[in-house]
Amino acid sequence: MSPHESPVSTPIAVPPKRERRKHARPGELLEAALHVFVDQGFGAAKVEDIASRAGVSKGTLFLYFASKEELFKAVVRDTIVGQLSQFQVAVDTFEGPTPELMRTMVHAWWQHSHANGSTGIAKLMLSEGKHFPELANFYRTEVIDPARGLIARLLARGLARGEFRAIDPTYGPYTLLSSMIFLALWHHAPGLRSPQDGPPSAQAYLETLLDAYLGGMLVRQT
Amino acid sequence: MSPHESPVSTPIAVPPKRERRKHARPGELLEAALHVFVDQGFGAAKVEDIASRAGVSKGTLFLYFASKEELFKAVVRDTIVGQLSQFQVAVDTFEGPTPELMRTMVHAWWQHSHANGSTGIAKLMLSEGKHFPELANFYRTEVIDPARGLIARLLARGLARGEFRAIDPTYGPYTLLSSMIFLALWHHAPGLRSPQDGPPSAQAYLETLLDAYLGGMLVRQT
Amino acid sequence: MSPHESPVSTPIAVPPKRERRKHARPGELLEAALHVFVDQGFGAAKVEDIASRAGVSKGTLFLYFASKEELFKAVVRDTIVGQLSQFQVAVDTFEGPTPELMRTMVHAWWQHSHANGSTGIAKLMLSEGKHFPELANFYRTEVIDPARGLIARLLARGLARGEFRAIDPTYGPYTLLSSMIFLALWHHAPGLRSPQDGPPSAQAYLETLLDAYLGGMLVRQT
Amino acid sequence: MSPHESPVSTPIAVPPKRERRKHARPGELLEAALHVFVDQGFGAAKVEDIASRAGVSKGTLFLYFASKEELFKAVVRDTIVGQLSQFQVAVDTFEGPTPELMRTMVHAWWQHSHANGSTGIAKLMLSEGKHFPELANFYRTEVIDPARGLIARLLARGLARGEFRAIDPTYGPYTLLSSMIFLALWHHAPGLRSPQDGPPSAQAYLETLLDAYLGGMLVRQT
DNA sequence: TATGAATGAGAGTTCATTCAT
DNA sequence: GATGAATGAACTCTCATTCAT
């Protein structure tokens, strides 16, 4: 800074390039890792590919993550944690018909999951969960169980309000959840989708799903 | 045939044990490979494990399959072939209410799939489909599309008979199919299932699913 | 073999080349490893160098030894263990003056150690023992302690027979042992020996050592 | 110098702390390096450990020493310089019995060596001498040869005064020297010492050694 | 002068594949 | 046909060294 410059105009100093990059590194690496892990699977992913996708060398990656496995854990944690808490609140505070709440939440879930990459994580956990029991555990307790619980509360709310009929408490939630998870997985398996159908529309898929599901759950009006 | 053998007791010549095993080799290898690939994933599976599970040496495996990839392809092709044709016939010949047909078929599908290992194939295709586009294509053409078609015909049958209401023709079948595929995948991811629920009951899961699904699809009777 | 050769002359079948090499491999690798470890130290030694010195590839080495460290342990065991038991026997069965026994054993020790490479091991343990506590432990209990005990018994024998005077029981044995170990180390540090003295003569060194040592230990005759 | 400082108390100007530290850097690094090299060996020592032990960053270390090897050489050179000259004088000026002189010097040697780290240098030269022939040369010329000469002069003095008997001139000095060097090495190999003996007492070790050694060297009195 | 983020060559180890027997 | 010893390319991870700040 020259002595004539007024420091007032730049009260917040712009960090030097190196410094700024340093703070961005973990995030850049996590993003790159999510992409490569989802694309290749954990075993087939090469750390060098992840590093070069983040624009750094192999060695740099190990400056931030102690091992490939730790990187994987960090990706899962970074992508998933704190995803579901907001949905919990929504269920508790919403006022109005349960079908509408369900509709809203299912769509919101997809929007979030699709945007932050957690659909790819779901695929990963299914494929490689066996090799990472600790992570699978983490994923189950942090993601699957809460998600199932959330749907269970939704069903209970509908039942209490006379909107839904009763359903098996253990497997009932899975009836909806399974189709949602399938959508996530399906999204990452382009080779398995019929090309003639064009790109799958998550909107339409979910709408159809909700239509069928709610049609089944709603109490029959005479 | 040695002069000491009595041909009388075995009117249809049973080949001597060694001979039979020799001819059975590829099948034994495919079976072992299916198990190990499903259990470990393609990348993490070791050919040595497959070979020793089949009771042969590593070298022998390569006598029958040119590479690990070829073995994988053979496993998928071998397991998939001719799965659905019998179901096609069932739909065409069945007489009676469509819900009953659907119920029967869904349970029969699981029984078959579970027994012959095709649930494992579903998991494999989802995990590795991207790296074997040709196989993914094959799987889609041979399994997914027919399965979806089958359900579509079921839905059409119900609609024609006044039993089902109309549903989106593209995504409608997936509404049921997705939950079935999920069951198959779920079966191979023990780490993701809640231990407190005990081993999952496919029967109960499918019954609950059909209950909800059919409840939604059935025309409301006043 | 030409058809005219009489097979009678070779009644014991020479094992096929592959087979013979297979059985020789561990020994060849241990020999190569001893050489390279002593020459470079454990840390600086490259498994590839060891393998190629044994005439095999890197991968082959890991067929016989699970890791570099296991290879090192095997070298130590192979080179040293069972070395000392024969000396134990010698002390117990020898009849005659203790000074003569000591002389005989010190020279025999050098001959053995020098021939089988255990002098190099001594140097290694001293240099890198800290990084392999388990091995250092092994070496101390299997080599150092027995050697010290052996000398202690020699001194006790001399004392009992009125040939030696008493000496500190803890450090007394080291007075001889230290000079023997030094010879072993010195042998592997050519750069530390004065070139003008020519190659060191272990014979002369040990003779001089014994002369001084025994001269001090012998009871003064009036 | 700040105006508040009183110059009276320090007639010889003490440089301000930062300045002094700056000039002390190489020395601090050498000290840290000696410790880490002795503790870990050259190969296993990490420059980062040395730097952080000296309280500077890795980069700073390379400001003063061009490479790890150069640092090693500097450590050895720095520690060795001018070790023995004082002992030379002692031999020439001492008046009294040679055994007493020898006793004094051996103990003094240990005190010095132990205090200034040259026991560690001995270990390093033994371990790494082969890879640093120039240093080994240096060490031999500056340390070993003078030490051996010193002992040779001691023995000659004793012989001339009728206190010692004659001994091989080449290996005779090593008889004492070897045990001293062994003590130095032994000190740095805790894993090789028997735990039941407790920490080794250099005093007792040396006293026992001298007892045996001198007992042998002294002319027999009738 | 001092930093520490970044590098990349090089190490140990694994495993699909080959081939002499 | 069957074996299993041998291979070597490929991978993860380390760390001396560099250089922008």
Residue range C15-45, pLDDT digits in tens = 445 555 667 778 999 999 999 999 999 999 9
> What pLDDT, on a 0 to 100 scale, did the predictor assign at position D15?
44
Q: Are D80 and D121 in contact (CB under 8 A)?
A: yes
Q: Does A touch B (3+ CB pairs < 8 Å)?
A: yes
* Cβ of D40 less than 7 A from strand F: no
| Chain C residue numbers touching D152 (CB-CB < 8 A) | none
Q: What is the pLDDT of residue B7?
A: 42
Q: What is the pLDDT of residue C189?
A: 87
Q: Do A43 and B39 touch (CB under 8 A)?
A: no
Q: Is the confidence at residue B198, as pLDDT, over 90? A: no
Encode C2-27: b = buried (16+ Cβ within 10 Å), e = exposed. eeeeeeeeeeeeeeeeeeeeeeebbe
A62: Cβ under 7 Å from strand F? yes
Between C144, C167, C208, which is nearest D212 by CB?
C167
What pLDDT, on the 0 to 100 scale, is given for residue B60? 96
Query: In chain D, which residue's Cα lies nearest the Cα of C214?
Result: D216
Give C122's contacts in chain D (Cβ within 8 Å).
none
Q: CB–CB of A140 and B168 under 8 A?
A: no
Max mean pLDDT range (B48-52, B89-93, B212-216, C190-194): B48-52
Provide the chain B residues 109-138 that lie in CB contact (below 8 A) with chain A: 123, 125-131, 133, 136-137
Name the average pLDDT for chain C. 84
Mean pLDDT within A102-126: 91
Task: Give the three-state DSSP class for B170.
Answer: coil
Q: Which residues of D touch C130 (CB under 8 A)?
A: 39-41, 189-191
D39 and C217 within 8 Å at the Cβ level: the answer is: no
Which residues pair with residue B218 across a beta bridge?
Answer: B164
Strand ranges for chain B from DSSP E: none
Chains A and D touch (3+ CB pairs under 8 A): no
Chain A contacts in chain B segment 191-220 (CB below 8 A): 191-194, 197, 204-205, 207-209, 211-217, 220
In terms of pLDDT, which residue wins out, A12 or C130?
C130
CB-defined contacts A:B, below 8 A: 171
Residue B70 has pLDDT above 50, yes or no: yes
B34: distance to nearest CA of chain A, Å? 15
What nucleotide is nearest C71 when CA is compared to C1'? E12
What's the average model confidence in pLDDT over B124-135? 91
| pLDDT on residue A123 | 92
* CB of A18 nearer than 7 A to strand F: yes
Nucleic acid strand F within 7 Å of A68 CB? yes
| pLDDT band at D184; cut points 50, 70, 90 | very high
Q: What is the mean pLDDT of residues B105-125?
A: 91
C window 35-54, beta carbon within 8 A of D: 39, 41, 43-44
Q: Is the pLDDT of residue C220 over 70?
A: no
> What is residue B206's predicted lDDT score, i.e. its pLDDT?
96
In angstroms, how far is F8 C1' from C56 CA?
Answer: 11
Q: How far apart are CA A134 and CA A142, in angstroms?
A: 12
The nucleotide whose C1' lies nearest the CA of A64 is E5
Residue C222 to residue D222, Cβ atoms within 8 A: yes
Query: Which residue from B41, B168, B221 is facing A127, i.e. has the nearest CB?
Result: B41
* B54: pLDDT strictly greater than 80: yes
Is the pLDDT score of D20 beyond 60? no
Residue B62 has pLDDT above 80, yes or no: yes
Global confidence as pTM: 0.84
Q: Say yes or no to pLDDT of A24 above 80.
A: no
Q: Which of residues 113-152 of B touch strand F (CB under 7 A)?
A: none
Which pLDDT value is given to residue B82? 65
Mean per-residue pLDDT, A152-165: 89
> For D214, which residue in chain C has the nearest alpha carbon?
C216
pLDDT over threshold 60, residue D48: yes
**Residue C57 CB in 7 A reach of strand E:** no
Any B CB within 8 A of A152 CB: no
CA distance C37 to A123: 48
The pLDDT-based confidence of A46 (bands split at 50, 70, 90) is: very high
pLDDT tens, D194-205? 887 777 799 999
The answer for A181, left when phi > 0, alpha when psi is -120 to 50, beta otherwise, is alpha
Q: Nucleic chain F: which protein residues 64-93 of B have CB below 7 A from it?
A: 64
Q: What is the structure's pLDDT at C196?
A: 74
pLDDT at B3: 43
Nearest residue by alpha-carbon distance to C1' of E19: B59
- Among chain A residues 6-65, those with CB within 7 Å of any atom of strand E: 18, 21-22, 25, 56-60, 62-63
What is the predicted pLDDT for the residue at B202?
Answer: 93
Interchain contact, D213 vs C212, CB within 8 Å: yes
Residue range B155-166: mean pLDDT, rounded: 88
C-alpha D117/C-alpha B140 separation (Å) is 74
Of the given ranges (A86-90, D36-40, D60-64), which has the lowest mean pLDDT?
A: A86-90
Question: Does A222 contact B222 at a Cβ distance shorter than 8 Å?
Answer: yes
Tokens representing B125 are 């295709």
Give per-residue pLDDT as tens, C84-116.
Answer: 778 888 888 999 999 999 999 999 999 999 998
Nucleotide nearest to D55 (CA to C1'): E2
> Do A130 and B165 lie within an 8 Å CB cutoff?
no
Mean pLDDT of chain D: 84
Band of the pLDDT at C3, cuts 50, 70, 90? very low
Helix locations, A96-171, DSSP H: 98-116, 118-128, 133-139, 145-160
Q: Band of the pLDDT at D101, cuts 50, 70, 90?
A: very high
pLDDT confidence band for D83 (50 / 70 / 90): low
Structural domains in chain B? 16-65 (1.10.10.60), 76-217 (1.10.357.10)
| DSSP 8-state secondary structure symbol assigned to residue B166 | -
Nearest to C127 by CA among D43, D205, D109, D113: D43
Is A171 within 8 Å of chain B by CB?
Answer: yes
Contacts of D143 (CB under 8 A, 6+ apart): D80, D83, D84, D118
What are the pLDDT digits (tens) for B4-35? Answer: 444 444 444 444 444 445 556 789 999 999 99
Q: How many angstroms separate the CA atoms of A25 and A3, rounded?
A: 33
Q: For position B83, what pLDDT does the model report?
A: 62
Arithmetic mean of pLDDT over chain A: 84
Q: CA geometry: angle at B158 spanning A214 and B110, to 5°?
A: 75
pLDDT interval class at A185 (50, 70, 90): very high
Q: Between chains, do A44 and B40 touch, taking CB under 8 Å as contact?
A: no
CA of D63 to C1' of F19 (A): 12
Find chain C residues with C-beta within 8 A of D222's C-beta: 222
Distance (Å) from CA A46 to C1' F11?
A: 8
Question: Would you say the C-beta of A14 is within 7 Å of strand F?
Answer: no
Mean pLDDT of D44-56: 96
Does the pLDDT at position D221 exceed 80? Answer: no
Interface contact flag, A136 B165, Cβ < 8 Å:
no
Using H for helix, E for strand and C for coil, what is the string for chain D?
Answer: CCCCCCCCCCCCCCCCHHHHHHHHHHHHHHHHHHHHHHHHCCCCCCHHHHHHHCCCCHHHHHHHCCCHHHHHHHHHHHHHCCCCHHHHHHHHHCCCCHHHHHHHHHHHHHHHHHHHCHHHHHHHHHHHHHHCHHHHHHHHHHHHHHHHHHHHHHHHHHHHCCCECCCCCCCHHHHHHHHHHHHHHHHCCHHHCCHHHCCCCHHHHHHHHHHHHHHHHECCCC
- Which of B144, B213, B217 lies at the smallest CB-CB distance from A192? B144
Chains that touch D (3 or more CB pairs under 8 A): C
pLDDT at D89: 86
Amino acid occupying residue A203: Q
Which one is predicted more confidently, B138 or B11?
A: B138
Instruction: Give the per-residue SS3 of B112-124.
Output: HHHHHCHHHHHHH
pLDDT at D208: 92
Which nucleotide is nearest to B62 if distance is taken from CA to C1'? E17
Task: Judge whether residue A14 has pLDDT over 50.
Answer: no
pLDDT of residue B23: 59
A40 touches strand F (CB under 7 A): no
Which nucleotides of strand F come closer than 7 angstroms to any CB of the protein?
1-21
Task: Say whether residue D152 is in contact with chain C using an 8 A CB cutoff.
Answer: no
C-alpha span between D13 and D1 (Å, rounded): 10
Contacts of residue A222 in chain B, CB cutoff 8 Å? 222
CA A33 / C1′ E4 distance in Å: 24
Work out the percent of chain C whose per-residue pLDDT is above 70: 86
pLDDT tens readout for residues A50-107? 999 999 999 999 999 999 999 999 999 888 876 777 788 888 899 999 989 999 999 9
Contact C191 D129 (CB under 8 A): yes
Residue B161 phi/psi, 5-degree rounding, is -85, 5
Q: What is the pLDDT of residue D94?
A: 93
